[in-house]
Amino acid sequence: MIDIHCHILPGIDDGAQTIEDSLALAKAAVENGITHAVCTPHIHFGRYDNTADTIALACENLRRALNEHNINLVIGAAAEVRFDVEIISAIERNDIPFLGNWHGKKVLLLEFPHGAIPMGSAKLTRWLLDHGVCPMIAHPERNKSLLERPGQLAPLLEQGCLLQVTAASLTGNFGPKSEKMALSLVADGLVTVVASDSHHTKRRPPLLRQAYDIVCKRQGYATAQALMISNPWGITKSHFPISG
């Protein structure tokens, strides 16, 4: 499976803190059935001030360590970008690494604050789409405001934003409300990718295989394949030129 959202790079956000943490998380990913992972540390202006360059360097260091330890996980680098008007200038400076491409647009993994869909969200996503960037909204099923009023997603979906659901929501690890919303978004065909959003081998492990089995059972093999293999591969294959 192809995991396009994980916090496996060491010491640059709230995921893996040391190279040992990263290697343990990478091993857990491989054991979970993940062959390729795009590392997506937070870019959260004023909190995690990562840039395309710092993320690429961290990814290169981890790639070397994975080789040294014979861990068979192929990695690439992008980011999970927190909603902020600063995104516009960061994109203009080429400081935002993208997940890849989808239907002719670059894909940006976009995270809203956990309790809200801020005023002006649709204006920022409109600006992005008009500039060749397709926002993929990270884990809408874990956003408190969307859980209360899921109708707020409609204008973003109408614009053409994509949705990424987190595997651990489908398994119930984020509680029954997130589980229900995740299952319903998948059943309604609104989800493009399911990803792990793994942070830690114990507290936030990769649960992609478990989510695959749930989607397979409820929606069928073709949907599970699309959400965890063919769609994420279609978006991110440019990160993996050797095996692609």
- Name the nearest CA neighbour of 10 among 46, 45, 50: 50
Task: Indicate the residue whose CB is closest to Fe ion.
Answer: 197
* Interface region with Fe ion, contact rule CB under 5 A, candidates 31-39, 77-85, 149-157, 225-233: 77-85
Q: Which is nearer to Fe ion, 11 or 220 (CB)?
A: 11
Give the nearest distance from C-beta 215 to Fe ion in angstroms.
20
Q: Are residues 72 and 33 in contact, defined by beta-carbon separation less than 8 angstroms? A: no
Amino acid at 141: E
Task: Indicate the pairing of strand 100-102 with strand 105-111.
Answer: antiparallel
Q: Which of 80, 95, 141, 179 binds Fe ion (CB under 5 A)?
A: 80
> Does residue 197 interact with Fe ion by CB under 5 A?
yes
Cα–Cα distance for residue pair 176/198, rounded to 1 Å: 19
> Does residue 3 interact with Fe ion by CB under 5 A?
no
Positions 119 through 158 that interact with Fe ion (CB under 5 A): none
The arrangement of strands across the sheet holding 36-39 comes to: 2-6, 36-39, 74-77
> Does residue 13 interact with Fe ion by CB under 5 A?
no
Residues that bind Fe ion (CB under 5 A): 80, 197
